[in-house]
A and B are shown apart, each in its own frame.
Chain A
Amino acid sequence: MSQTQIENAADHEKAEAPLIVTRDLSVHYGAVQALNQISLNVSEHLVTAFIGPSGCGKSTLLRCFNRMNDLIDHVKTTGKVTIAGHDIYRSDIDVVQLRKKVGMVFQKSNPFPKSIRENIMYGLRLHGMRESNRLNEVVESSLRSAALWDEVKDRLDTNALTLSGGQQQRLCIARAIAIQPEILLMDEPASALDPVATAKIEELILTLKERYTIVIVTHNMQQATRISDKTAFFYLGALVEYGNTQAIFTNPKNRQTEDYVTGRFG
Protein backbone atom coordinates (compact mmCIF):
# COMPACT_ATOMS: atom_id res chain seq x y z
CA MET A 1 0.00 0.00 0.00
CA SER A 2 2.69 2.47 0.96
CA GLN A 3 4.43 1.66 -2.28
CA THR A 4 1.34 2.88 -4.18
CA GLN A 5 1.27 5.95 -1.98
CA ILE A 6 4.80 6.86 -2.87
CA GLU A 7 4.18 6.28 -6.54
CA ASN A 8 1.06 8.40 -6.34
CA ALA A 9 2.99 11.12 -4.60
CA ALA A 10 5.81 10.89 -7.11
CA ASP A 11 3.36 11.33 -9.99
CA HIS A 12 2.17 14.58 -8.58
CA GLU A 13 5.49 16.10 -7.85
CA LYS A 14 6.17 15.98 -11.55
CA ALA A 15 2.79 17.39 -12.54
CA GLU A 16 2.06 20.41 -10.32
CA ALA A 17 3.86 22.43 -7.71
CA PRO A 18 2.98 20.85 -4.36
CA LEU A 19 1.96 23.35 -1.70
CA ILE A 20 1.25 20.94 1.13
CA VAL A 21 3.44 17.88 1.47
CA THR A 22 3.01 15.18 4.10
CA ARG A 23 5.47 12.36 4.65
CA ASP A 24 4.72 9.35 6.86
CA LEU A 25 2.23 11.39 8.81
CA SER A 26 0.63 9.41 11.64
CA VAL A 27 -1.77 10.70 14.28
CA HIS A 28 -2.76 8.92 17.47
CA TYR A 29 -5.55 9.95 19.82
CA GLY A 30 -4.35 8.26 22.98
CA ALA A 31 -4.13 4.59 22.05
CA VAL A 32 -6.26 4.97 18.91
CA GLN A 33 -4.47 5.45 15.64
CA ALA A 34 -6.40 7.87 13.43
CA LEU A 35 -3.90 8.26 10.60
CA ASN A 36 -1.33 5.74 9.45
CA GLN A 37 1.73 6.98 7.59
CA ILE A 38 0.10 9.31 5.12
CA SER A 39 2.29 10.65 2.33
CA LEU A 40 0.60 12.92 -0.15
CA ASN A 41 1.04 16.23 -1.94
CA VAL A 42 -1.61 18.89 -2.33
CA SER A 43 -1.13 21.07 -5.37
CA GLU A 44 -1.48 24.80 -5.50
CA HIS A 45 -4.68 26.36 -6.87
CA LEU A 46 -6.52 23.10 -7.17
CA VAL A 47 -9.48 21.76 -5.25
CA THR A 48 -8.46 18.56 -3.53
CA ALA A 49 -11.23 16.39 -2.08
CA PHE A 50 -10.76 13.92 0.77
CA ILE A 51 -13.36 11.16 0.69
CA GLY A 52 -13.91 8.00 2.68
CA PRO A 53 -16.28 6.47 5.22
CA SER A 54 -16.75 8.08 8.65
CA GLY A 55 -13.76 7.60 10.91
CA CYS A 56 -11.34 7.05 8.04
CA GLY A 57 -9.13 9.93 9.19
CA LYS A 58 -9.88 12.45 6.47
CA SER A 59 -10.92 15.21 8.90
CA THR A 60 -7.96 14.43 11.13
CA LEU A 61 -5.63 14.92 8.18
CA LEU A 62 -7.33 18.20 7.28
CA ARG A 63 -6.86 19.38 10.85
CA CYS A 64 -3.15 18.59 10.68
CA PHE A 65 -2.71 21.27 8.04
CA ASN A 66 -3.55 24.12 10.44
CA ARG A 67 -2.62 22.20 13.58
CA MET A 68 -6.12 22.28 14.99
CA ASN A 69 -5.43 18.79 16.33
CA ASP A 70 -3.11 20.43 18.83
CA LEU A 71 -6.20 21.56 20.75
CA ILE A 72 -7.17 17.99 21.60
CA ASP A 73 -5.71 16.32 24.69
CA HIS A 74 -3.40 13.34 24.19
CA VAL A 75 -2.95 13.75 20.47
CA LYS A 76 0.39 12.57 19.10
CA THR A 77 1.52 13.51 15.62
CA THR A 78 4.55 11.93 13.97
CA GLY A 79 5.97 12.34 10.50
CA LYS A 80 6.28 15.53 8.55
CA VAL A 81 3.96 18.17 7.11
CA THR A 82 5.41 21.00 5.08
CA ILE A 83 3.52 23.93 3.64
CA ALA A 84 5.35 25.93 0.99
CA GLY A 85 8.52 24.25 2.17
CA HIS A 86 8.14 25.04 5.87
CA ASP A 87 7.86 22.18 8.33
CA ILE A 88 4.75 23.27 10.24
CA TYR A 89 5.33 20.87 13.13
CA ARG A 90 8.71 22.31 14.00
CA SER A 91 8.76 23.69 17.51
CA ASP A 92 9.66 27.21 16.43
CA ILE A 93 6.71 27.55 14.06
CA ASP A 94 4.27 30.35 14.98
CA VAL A 95 0.90 28.63 14.98
CA VAL A 96 -0.89 32.00 14.83
CA GLN A 97 0.89 32.84 11.57
CA LEU A 98 0.25 29.34 10.25
CA ARG A 99 -3.49 29.67 10.89
CA LYS A 100 -3.48 33.06 9.24
CA LYS A 101 -2.15 31.42 6.09
CA VAL A 102 -4.34 28.33 6.37
CA GLY A 103 -7.99 29.23 6.88
CA MET A 104 -10.66 26.78 7.91
CA VAL A 105 -14.40 26.35 7.42
CA PHE A 106 -16.14 23.85 9.65
CA GLN A 107 -18.89 21.30 9.15
CA LYS A 108 -21.28 23.08 11.47
CA SER A 109 -21.41 26.76 10.61
CA ASN A 110 -20.06 28.61 13.60
CA PRO A 111 -20.43 32.38 13.23
CA PHE A 112 -19.72 34.29 16.43
CA PRO A 113 -22.89 35.55 18.13
CA LYS A 114 -21.90 39.04 17.10
CA SER A 115 -22.93 41.26 14.22
CA ILE A 116 -22.14 40.24 10.63
CA ARG A 117 -19.61 43.06 10.47
CA GLU A 118 -17.95 42.03 13.75
CA ASN A 119 -17.64 38.46 12.51
CA ILE A 120 -15.50 39.56 9.58
CA MET A 121 -13.55 42.12 11.60
CA TYR A 122 -12.67 39.61 14.31
CA GLY A 123 -9.79 38.01 12.45
CA LEU A 124 -8.64 41.32 11.00
CA ARG A 125 -8.41 42.89 14.46
CA LEU A 126 -6.55 39.85 15.77
CA HIS A 127 -3.92 40.45 13.15
CA GLY A 128 -3.59 44.09 14.01
CA MET A 129 -5.84 45.98 11.59
CA ARG A 130 -7.27 48.99 13.41
CA GLU A 131 -8.19 51.60 10.82
CA SER A 132 -11.97 51.60 10.37
CA ASN A 133 -12.01 52.56 6.67
CA ARG A 134 -9.73 49.68 5.86
CA LEU A 135 -11.74 47.31 8.05
CA ASN A 136 -14.98 48.23 6.31
CA GLU A 137 -13.37 47.80 2.91
CA VAL A 138 -12.30 44.29 3.77
CA VAL A 139 -15.74 43.51 5.21
CA GLU A 140 -17.27 44.41 1.88
CA SER A 141 -14.70 42.69 -0.31
CA SER A 142 -14.77 39.44 1.68
CA LEU A 143 -18.57 39.35 1.72
CA ARG A 144 -18.54 39.95 -2.03
CA SER A 145 -16.03 37.14 -2.52
CA ALA A 146 -18.25 34.86 -0.47
CA ALA A 147 -21.27 35.85 -2.61
CA LEU A 148 -23.07 37.16 0.44
CA TRP A 149 -22.76 40.93 0.07
CA ASP A 150 -25.99 41.58 -1.80
CA GLU A 151 -27.99 39.62 0.74
CA VAL A 152 -26.59 41.31 3.85
CA LYS A 153 -25.31 44.74 2.83
CA ASP A 154 -28.30 46.47 4.47
CA ARG A 155 -28.02 44.63 7.75
CA LEU A 156 -24.33 44.36 8.51
CA ASP A 157 -24.98 45.24 12.14
CA THR A 158 -27.55 42.57 12.85
CA ASN A 159 -26.57 39.42 14.70
CA ALA A 160 -25.05 36.80 12.42
CA LEU A 161 -27.22 34.14 14.04
CA THR A 162 -30.28 35.66 12.33
CA LEU A 163 -28.92 34.48 8.95
CA SER A 164 -30.07 31.21 7.35
CA GLY A 165 -27.85 28.14 7.60
CA GLY A 166 -26.44 28.59 4.10
CA GLN A 167 -25.81 32.29 4.66
CA GLN A 168 -24.09 31.53 7.97
CA GLN A 169 -21.78 29.09 6.23
CA ARG A 170 -20.95 31.65 3.53
CA LEU A 171 -20.31 34.18 6.30
CA CYS A 172 -17.84 31.71 7.82
CA ILE A 173 -16.14 31.45 4.43
CA ALA A 174 -16.05 35.26 4.17
CA ARG A 175 -14.60 35.42 7.69
CA ALA A 176 -11.91 32.90 6.74
CA ILE A 177 -10.88 34.66 3.53
CA ALA A 178 -10.92 38.13 5.11
CA ILE A 179 -7.49 37.53 6.60
CA GLN A 180 -6.17 36.51 3.17
CA PRO A 181 -5.09 32.93 3.69
CA GLU A 182 -3.36 30.96 0.95
CA ILE A 183 -5.08 27.70 1.73
CA LEU A 184 -8.72 27.08 2.64
CA LEU A 185 -9.55 23.91 4.53
CA MET A 186 -13.19 22.91 4.38
CA ASP A 187 -14.52 20.17 6.61
CA GLU A 188 -17.80 19.01 5.02
CA PRO A 189 -18.89 22.63 4.56
CA ALA A 190 -22.24 21.76 2.99
CA SER A 191 -23.24 18.62 4.87
CA ALA A 192 -25.81 20.43 7.01
CA LEU A 193 -27.30 22.49 4.18
CA ASP A 194 -30.21 22.02 1.81
CA PRO A 195 -29.53 21.41 -1.94
CA VAL A 196 -29.96 25.07 -2.93
CA ALA A 197 -27.57 26.33 -0.27
CA THR A 198 -25.19 23.50 -1.13
CA ALA A 199 -25.21 24.51 -4.79
CA LYS A 200 -24.30 28.07 -3.78
CA ILE A 201 -21.38 26.86 -1.66
CA GLU A 202 -20.14 24.65 -4.48
CA GLU A 203 -20.37 27.49 -6.96
CA LEU A 204 -18.44 29.63 -4.50
CA ILE A 205 -15.71 27.02 -4.12
CA LEU A 206 -15.22 26.95 -7.89
CA THR A 207 -14.72 30.74 -7.97
CA LEU A 208 -12.48 30.72 -4.88
CA LYS A 209 -10.08 28.19 -6.34
CA GLU A 210 -8.66 30.86 -8.61
CA ARG A 211 -7.21 32.59 -5.58
CA TYR A 212 -6.87 29.86 -2.97
CA THR A 213 -5.73 26.30 -2.69
CA ILE A 214 -8.74 24.41 -1.38
CA VAL A 215 -8.80 21.12 0.48
CA ILE A 216 -12.30 19.84 1.13
CA VAL A 217 -13.52 16.86 3.14
CA THR A 218 -16.81 15.56 1.84
CA HIS A 219 -19.18 12.66 2.26
CA ASN A 220 -20.98 13.57 -0.91
CA MET A 221 -19.45 11.78 -3.87
CA GLN A 222 -21.31 13.84 -6.45
CA GLN A 223 -19.97 16.94 -4.76
CA ALA A 224 -16.42 15.64 -5.05
CA THR A 225 -16.86 15.00 -8.77
CA ARG A 226 -18.46 18.40 -9.33
CA ILE A 227 -15.91 20.58 -7.61
CA SER A 228 -12.60 18.81 -7.12
CA ASP A 229 -9.62 18.36 -9.40
CA LYS A 230 -7.95 15.72 -7.27
CA THR A 231 -9.48 13.16 -4.96
CA ALA A 232 -7.92 11.14 -2.18
CA PHE A 233 -9.72 8.12 -0.81
CA PHE A 234 -9.04 7.15 2.78
CA TYR A 235 -9.97 4.00 4.59
CA LEU A 236 -9.21 3.10 8.23
CA GLY A 237 -6.64 5.84 8.60
CA ALA A 238 -4.72 4.96 5.45
CA LEU A 239 -4.54 6.67 2.09
CA VAL A 240 -5.86 4.08 -0.34
CA GLU A 241 -5.83 5.93 -3.60
CA TYR A 242 -5.06 9.45 -4.73
CA GLY A 243 -5.29 10.92 -8.20
CA ASN A 244 -7.26 13.02 -10.63
CA THR A 245 -10.90 13.11 -9.60
CA GLN A 246 -12.06 11.78 -12.93
CA ALA A 247 -9.71 8.84 -12.73
CA ILE A 248 -10.71 7.99 -9.16
CA PHE A 249 -14.38 7.96 -10.02
CA THR A 250 -14.32 6.37 -13.45
CA ASN A 251 -11.30 4.14 -13.36
CA PRO A 252 -10.14 3.46 -9.80
CA LYS A 253 -7.07 1.29 -9.50
CA ASN A 254 -7.95 -0.08 -6.11
CA ARG A 255 -10.81 -2.43 -5.37
CA GLN A 256 -11.77 -0.65 -2.11
CA THR A 257 -11.92 2.68 -3.89
CA GLU A 258 -14.13 1.22 -6.55
CA ASP A 259 -16.48 -0.30 -3.99
CA TYR A 260 -16.71 3.00 -2.14
CA VAL A 261 -17.24 5.35 -5.09
CA THR A 262 -19.81 3.02 -6.64
CA GLY A 263 -21.66 2.98 -3.34
CA ARG A 264 -21.15 -0.67 -2.43
CA PHE A 265 -19.97 0.22 1.07
CA GLY A 266 -19.39 3.23 3.29
Chain B
Amino acid sequence: MAFATAIILAFAAVILSNILWQGWEAFSWRFITSRADQNMFDSQQAGVLQMIAGTSARVVLMTIFVMPIGVITAIYLTEYARKDSLLTNLIQSAVNNLAGVPSIVFGLFGLGFFVNFIGGNLDLILRPEQAAPYWRNPALIWASLTLAVMTLPVVIVSTEEALKAIPPGLREASMALGATRLETVIRIVIPQALPGIMTGGVLAVGRAAGEVAPILFTGAAYYMSGYPSHLTDQFMDLGYHIFILSTQSPDIEGTRSILYATVITLLLLTFTLNLLTILMRARIRTKLRTFH
Protein backbone atom coordinates (compact mmCIF):
# COMPACT_ATOMS: atom_id res chain seq x y z
CA MET B 1 0.00 0.00 0.00
CA ALA B 2 2.75 2.42 0.95
CA PHE B 3 4.58 1.31 -2.19
CA ALA B 4 1.56 2.02 -4.38
CA THR B 5 1.18 5.43 -2.78
CA ALA B 6 4.86 6.12 -3.37
CA ILE B 7 4.54 5.21 -7.05
CA ILE B 8 1.57 7.51 -7.51
CA LEU B 9 3.30 10.36 -5.71
CA ALA B 10 6.44 9.77 -7.77
CA PHE B 11 4.50 9.93 -11.02
CA ALA B 12 2.74 13.11 -9.97
CA ALA B 13 6.05 14.63 -8.94
CA VAL B 14 7.76 13.68 -12.23
CA ILE B 15 4.92 15.05 -14.36
CA LEU B 16 4.62 18.28 -12.40
CA SER B 17 8.34 18.94 -12.15
CA ASN B 18 8.78 18.24 -15.86
CA ILE B 19 6.06 20.78 -16.66
CA LEU B 20 7.47 23.34 -14.26
CA TRP B 21 11.03 22.78 -15.44
CA GLN B 22 10.20 23.28 -19.11
CA GLY B 23 7.66 26.05 -18.67
CA TRP B 24 9.08 28.10 -15.83
CA GLU B 25 11.24 30.25 -18.09
CA ALA B 26 8.34 31.50 -20.20
CA PHE B 27 5.74 31.62 -17.47
CA SER B 28 5.45 35.16 -16.18
CA TRP B 29 2.93 37.79 -15.23
CA ARG B 30 3.40 39.29 -18.69
CA PHE B 31 2.63 35.90 -20.27
CA ILE B 32 -0.71 35.45 -18.56
CA THR B 33 -1.77 39.08 -18.90
CA SER B 34 -0.97 39.72 -22.54
CA ARG B 35 -2.91 38.72 -25.59
CA ALA B 36 -1.78 36.51 -28.41
CA ASP B 37 -2.23 38.61 -31.47
CA GLN B 38 -0.24 38.03 -34.62
CA ASN B 39 2.56 36.56 -32.51
CA MET B 40 1.01 33.32 -31.27
CA PHE B 41 4.23 31.39 -31.68
CA ASP B 42 6.61 34.10 -30.53
CA SER B 43 7.94 33.03 -27.15
CA GLN B 44 8.97 36.58 -26.25
CA GLN B 45 5.65 38.34 -26.97
CA ALA B 46 2.85 35.77 -26.96
CA GLY B 47 0.39 35.67 -24.09
CA VAL B 48 -2.59 33.57 -23.14
CA LEU B 49 -5.08 36.07 -21.78
CA GLN B 50 -7.71 35.29 -24.44
CA MET B 51 -7.34 31.59 -23.77
CA ILE B 52 -7.76 32.13 -20.04
CA ALA B 53 -10.89 34.18 -20.77
CA GLY B 54 -12.24 31.57 -23.22
CA THR B 55 -11.65 28.59 -20.95
CA SER B 56 -13.06 30.39 -17.91
CA ALA B 57 -16.13 31.47 -19.87
CA ARG B 58 -16.90 27.99 -21.17
CA VAL B 59 -16.41 26.42 -17.73
CA VAL B 60 -18.62 28.98 -15.97
CA LEU B 61 -21.34 28.70 -18.63
CA MET B 62 -21.17 24.92 -18.48
CA THR B 63 -21.64 25.07 -14.71
CA ILE B 64 -24.69 27.31 -15.14
CA PHE B 65 -26.18 24.84 -17.63
CA VAL B 66 -25.31 21.57 -15.94
CA MET B 67 -26.06 22.29 -12.27
CA PRO B 68 -29.83 22.94 -12.45
CA ILE B 69 -30.48 20.05 -14.83
CA GLY B 70 -28.25 17.63 -12.94
CA VAL B 71 -29.58 18.59 -9.53
CA ILE B 72 -33.22 18.48 -10.62
CA THR B 73 -32.69 15.06 -12.24
CA ALA B 74 -31.08 13.73 -9.07
CA ILE B 75 -33.88 15.15 -6.95
CA TYR B 76 -36.44 13.52 -9.20
CA LEU B 77 -34.64 10.19 -9.00
CA THR B 78 -34.16 10.13 -5.22
CA GLU B 79 -37.14 12.09 -3.91
CA TYR B 80 -39.96 11.46 -6.35
CA ALA B 81 -39.45 8.48 -8.63
CA ARG B 82 -40.43 4.99 -7.59
CA LYS B 83 -37.20 3.10 -7.09
CA ASP B 84 -38.18 0.11 -9.21
CA SER B 85 -40.11 1.72 -12.05
CA LEU B 86 -39.06 1.25 -15.66
CA LEU B 87 -38.52 4.99 -16.15
CA THR B 88 -36.21 5.26 -13.12
CA ASN B 89 -34.12 2.32 -14.30
CA LEU B 90 -34.01 3.78 -17.79
CA ILE B 91 -32.73 7.13 -16.52
CA GLN B 92 -30.24 5.46 -14.18
CA SER B 93 -28.72 3.32 -16.92
CA ALA B 94 -28.70 6.29 -19.31
CA VAL B 95 -26.73 8.26 -16.70
CA ASN B 96 -24.28 5.41 -16.19
CA ASN B 97 -23.78 4.91 -19.93
CA LEU B 98 -23.35 8.63 -20.50
CA ALA B 99 -20.46 8.58 -18.04
CA GLY B 100 -18.64 5.99 -20.14
CA VAL B 101 -18.86 7.74 -23.52
CA PRO B 102 -15.49 9.04 -24.86
CA SER B 103 -15.28 12.81 -24.93
CA ILE B 104 -14.66 13.02 -28.69
CA VAL B 105 -18.05 11.39 -29.18
CA PHE B 106 -19.56 14.22 -27.16
CA GLY B 107 -17.73 16.60 -29.49
CA LEU B 108 -19.34 15.00 -32.53
CA PHE B 109 -22.70 14.88 -30.79
CA GLY B 110 -22.38 18.59 -29.97
CA LEU B 111 -21.62 19.39 -33.60
CA GLY B 112 -24.52 17.32 -34.88
CA PHE B 113 -27.10 18.21 -32.26
CA PHE B 114 -26.32 21.67 -30.92
CA VAL B 115 -24.54 23.37 -33.83
CA ASN B 116 -26.30 21.82 -36.80
CA PHE B 117 -29.70 20.83 -35.45
CA ILE B 118 -30.48 23.42 -32.75
CA GLY B 119 -28.38 26.16 -34.36
CA GLY B 120 -29.71 25.39 -37.82
CA ASN B 121 -33.31 25.50 -36.65
CA LEU B 122 -32.74 28.73 -34.71
CA ASP B 123 -31.46 30.27 -37.95
CA LEU B 124 -34.55 29.07 -39.80
CA ILE B 125 -36.91 30.42 -37.15
CA LEU B 126 -35.21 33.62 -36.02
CA ARG B 127 -33.47 34.72 -39.19
CA PRO B 128 -35.33 33.21 -42.14
CA GLU B 129 -34.22 35.92 -44.55
CA GLN B 130 -30.47 35.78 -43.99
CA ALA B 131 -28.50 33.25 -45.97
CA ALA B 132 -25.37 33.29 -43.79
CA PRO B 133 -25.65 31.07 -40.73
CA TYR B 134 -25.55 32.93 -37.43
CA TRP B 135 -26.52 30.31 -34.85
CA ARG B 136 -25.34 27.41 -36.96
CA ASN B 137 -21.68 28.08 -36.16
CA PRO B 138 -19.34 26.76 -33.54
CA ALA B 139 -19.89 29.03 -30.55
CA LEU B 140 -19.28 29.48 -26.85
CA ILE B 141 -22.86 28.46 -26.03
CA TRP B 142 -22.69 25.21 -28.03
CA ALA B 143 -19.30 24.24 -26.55
CA SER B 144 -20.59 24.92 -23.03
CA LEU B 145 -23.75 22.94 -23.64
CA THR B 146 -21.75 20.02 -25.03
CA LEU B 147 -19.56 20.06 -21.92
CA ALA B 148 -22.67 20.27 -19.78
CA VAL B 149 -24.05 17.09 -21.37
CA MET B 150 -20.68 15.42 -20.79
CA THR B 151 -20.49 16.36 -17.10
CA LEU B 152 -24.18 15.69 -16.39
CA PRO B 153 -23.55 12.19 -14.94
CA VAL B 154 -20.95 13.56 -12.53
CA VAL B 155 -23.39 16.10 -11.13
CA ILE B 156 -26.32 13.67 -11.01
CA VAL B 157 -24.37 10.93 -9.24
CA SER B 158 -22.80 13.15 -6.59
CA THR B 159 -26.09 14.95 -5.94
CA GLU B 160 -27.82 11.58 -5.57
CA GLU B 161 -25.19 10.50 -3.05
CA ALA B 162 -25.67 13.74 -1.11
CA LEU B 163 -29.44 13.29 -1.07
CA LYS B 164 -29.24 9.67 0.02
CA ALA B 165 -27.01 10.68 2.94
CA ILE B 166 -29.78 12.84 4.44
CA PRO B 167 -31.58 10.91 7.19
CA PRO B 168 -35.08 9.88 6.00
CA GLY B 169 -36.32 10.99 9.42
CA LEU B 170 -35.87 14.64 8.43
CA ARG B 171 -38.14 14.22 5.42
CA GLU B 172 -40.71 12.39 7.55
CA ALA B 173 -40.57 15.09 10.22
CA SER B 174 -41.17 17.77 7.63
CA MET B 175 -44.03 15.97 5.94
CA ALA B 176 -45.63 15.01 9.25
CA LEU B 177 -45.85 18.74 9.95
CA GLY B 178 -47.87 19.13 6.78
CA ALA B 179 -45.16 20.05 4.30
CA THR B 180 -45.61 18.86 0.74
CA ARG B 181 -42.83 16.93 -0.93
CA LEU B 182 -41.74 20.05 -2.81
CA GLU B 183 -41.64 22.15 0.37
CA THR B 184 -39.62 19.42 2.06
CA VAL B 185 -37.17 19.32 -0.84
CA ILE B 186 -36.73 23.09 -0.94
CA ARG B 187 -36.57 23.80 2.79
CA ILE B 188 -34.92 20.69 4.24
CA VAL B 189 -33.36 18.47 1.60
CA ILE B 190 -31.53 20.94 -0.67
CA PRO B 191 -29.96 23.03 2.14
CA GLN B 192 -28.66 19.83 3.72
CA ALA B 193 -27.38 18.45 0.44
CA LEU B 194 -25.73 21.68 -0.70
CA PRO B 195 -22.14 20.71 0.22
CA GLY B 196 -22.53 17.41 -1.64
CA ILE B 197 -24.11 19.17 -4.62
CA MET B 198 -21.16 21.53 -4.73
CA THR B 199 -18.79 18.59 -4.69
CA GLY B 200 -20.53 17.55 -7.88
CA GLY B 201 -19.83 21.03 -9.23
CA VAL B 202 -16.15 20.75 -8.30
CA LEU B 203 -15.84 17.41 -10.05
CA ALA B 204 -17.66 18.68 -13.14
CA VAL B 205 -15.43 21.75 -13.38
CA GLY B 206 -12.33 19.61 -12.91
CA ARG B 207 -13.47 17.23 -15.61
CA ALA B 208 -14.46 19.93 -18.09
CA ALA B 209 -11.69 22.50 -17.68
CA GLY B 210 -9.02 20.39 -19.34
CA GLU B 211 -11.18 18.76 -22.02
CA VAL B 212 -10.46 19.66 -25.63
CA ALA B 213 -12.26 17.02 -27.68
CA PRO B 214 -15.84 18.16 -26.90
CA ILE B 215 -15.11 21.77 -27.91
CA LEU B 216 -13.01 20.98 -30.96
CA PHE B 217 -15.94 21.18 -33.39
CA THR B 218 -18.36 23.11 -31.23
CA GLY B 219 -16.67 26.38 -30.36
CA ALA B 220 -12.88 26.51 -30.02
CA ALA B 221 -11.06 28.84 -32.38
CA TYR B 222 -7.54 28.41 -33.70
CA TYR B 223 -7.07 32.12 -33.54
CA MET B 224 -9.25 35.18 -33.04
CA SER B 225 -8.18 38.72 -32.39
CA GLY B 226 -10.42 39.77 -29.50
CA TYR B 227 -12.35 38.23 -26.67
CA PRO B 228 -15.63 36.37 -26.99
CA SER B 229 -18.35 38.87 -26.11
CA HIS B 230 -21.48 37.01 -27.22
CA LEU B 231 -22.74 33.51 -26.62
CA THR B 232 -22.48 32.99 -30.37
CA ASP B 233 -18.79 33.97 -30.52
CA GLN B 234 -16.06 31.42 -30.87
CA PHE B 235 -13.29 31.45 -28.30
CA MET B 236 -9.65 30.54 -27.82
CA ASP B 237 -9.04 27.86 -25.27
CA LEU B 238 -6.04 26.89 -23.16
CA GLY B 239 -6.33 23.16 -23.82
CA TYR B 240 -6.82 23.63 -27.55
CA HIS B 241 -3.97 26.14 -27.59
CA ILE B 242 -1.67 23.50 -26.06
CA PHE B 243 -2.63 21.23 -28.93
CA ILE B 244 -1.95 24.00 -31.46
CA LEU B 245 1.41 24.92 -29.95
CA SER B 246 2.57 21.32 -29.94
CA THR B 247 1.45 20.45 -33.48
CA GLN B 248 1.06 23.59 -35.58
CA SER B 249 4.10 25.59 -34.56
CA PRO B 250 6.58 26.43 -37.34
CA ASP B 251 9.39 26.08 -34.79
CA ILE B 252 8.59 23.35 -32.26
CA GLU B 253 11.80 23.85 -30.29
CA GLY B 254 11.29 27.59 -30.08
CA THR B 255 7.75 27.40 -28.81
CA ARG B 256 8.35 24.58 -26.33
CA SER B 257 8.74 27.00 -23.42
CA ILE B 258 5.44 28.79 -24.09
CA LEU B 259 3.77 25.43 -24.67
CA TYR B 260 4.69 24.34 -21.16
CA ALA B 261 3.90 27.76 -19.72
CA THR B 262 0.40 27.35 -21.22
CA VAL B 263 0.15 23.99 -19.52
CA ILE B 264 1.08 25.63 -16.19
CA THR B 265 -1.61 28.26 -16.80
CA LEU B 266 -4.25 25.60 -17.49
CA LEU B 267 -3.30 23.70 -14.33
CA LEU B 268 -3.40 26.87 -12.25
CA LEU B 269 -6.77 27.85 -13.70
CA THR B 270 -8.24 24.42 -12.94
CA PHE B 271 -6.84 24.54 -9.41
CA THR B 272 -8.22 28.04 -8.88
CA LEU B 273 -11.68 27.10 -10.13
CA ASN B 274 -11.66 24.02 -7.89
CA LEU B 275 -10.37 26.00 -4.94
CA LEU B 276 -13.15 28.58 -5.30
CA THR B 277 -15.85 25.90 -5.20
CA ILE B 278 -14.14 24.08 -2.34
CA LEU B 279 -13.99 27.31 -0.31
CA MET B 280 -17.65 28.00 -1.03
CA ARG B 281 -18.52 24.49 0.07
CA ALA B 282 -16.50 24.81 3.26
CA ARG B 283 -18.34 28.02 4.08
CA ILE B 284 -21.71 26.34 3.63
CA ARG B 285 -20.58 23.40 5.75
CA THR B 286 -19.59 25.59 8.68
CA LYS B 287 -22.81 27.48 8.30
CA LEU B 288 -24.80 24.25 8.43
CA ARG B 289 -22.85 22.96 11.41
CA THR B 290 -22.96 25.99 13.70
CA PHE B 291 -26.04 27.62 12.23
CA HIS B 292 -26.38 31.29 13.09
Q: Chain A residues with Cβ under 8 A from B290's Cβ?
A: 159
Interface of chain B, helix or strand or loop or mixed?
helix
User: Please, how many angstroms separate the alpha-carbon atoms of A176 and B289 in the complex?
Assistant: 24
- A125-177 residues with Cβ-Cβ distance < 8 A to B are 126-127, 157-159, 172, 175-176
Q: Are B176 and A126 in contact (CB under 8 A)?
A: no
* A94-105 contact mask (Cβ, 8 Å, vs B): 1 or 0: 001101100110
B167 touches A110 (CB 8 A): yes
Q: Which of A163-208 contact B (CB under 8 A)?
A: 172, 175-176, 179
Q: Is A79 part of the contact surface with B, judged by Cβ < 8 Å?
A: no
Q: Does B92 contact A (CB under 8 A)?
A: no
Q: Contacts A96-B178, A99-B177, A126-B178; is A114 near B291 (CB within 8 Å)?
A: yes
Report Cα–Cα, A68/B175, bound state, in Å.
8
Whether A99 and B175, one on each chain, are in contact in the complex, defined by CB atoms closer than 8 angstroms, is yes
CA–CA, A158 and B169, complex, Å = 21
Q: Which residues of A contact B84 (CB under 8 A)?
A: 73
Cβ of B172 and Cβ of A68 under 8 Å apart? yes
Are B177 and A123 within 8 A (Cβ)? yes
* Residue count of chain A within 8 Å CB distance of chain B: 29
* B280 within 8 A of partner (CB): no
Q: Is A55 an interface residue (CB 8 A)?
A: no
How many angstroms between the C-alpha atoms of A106 and B213 in the bound complex? 53
Q: How many residues of B contact A (CB 8 A)?
A: 25
Flag if B178 contacts A122 (CB, 8 Å).
no
A84 to B287, CA, bound (A): 44
| Bound-state Cα–Cα, A113 to B167, Å | 11
Residue B78 at the chain A interface, CB threshold 8 Å: no
Residue-wise interface mask of B (76-87) relative to A, using a CB-CB cutoff of 8 A (1 in contact, 0 not):
000000111000
Number of A-B residue pairs at CB separation under 8 A = 70
The answer on a CB contact under 8 Å between B176 and A104 is: yes
Among A112, A115, A158, max chain B CB count under 10 A is at A112
Does B232 reach chain A (CB closer than 8 Å)? no
B116 touches A (CB below 8 Å):
no
B residues within 8 A CB of A100? 177-178
Give the distance to chain B from A14, nearest Cβ to Cβ, in Å.
33
A to B CB contacts below 8 Å, 22 in the list = A68-B176, A71-B175, A73-B82, A73-B83, A96-B178, A96-B180, A99-B176, A100-B178, A103-B176, A110-B167, A110-B169, A110-B170, A111-B173, A112-B170, A113-B291, A115-B292, A123-B179, A126-B177, A126-B179, A159-B289, A159-B291, A179-B177
Residues of A within 8 A of B (CB): 66, 68, 71, 73, 96-97, 99-100, 103-104, 106, 108, 110-115, 122-123, 126-127, 157-159, 172, 175-176, 179
- Measured CB to CB, the residues of B under 8 A from A are 82-84, 167, 169-180, 183, 187-188, 192, 288-292
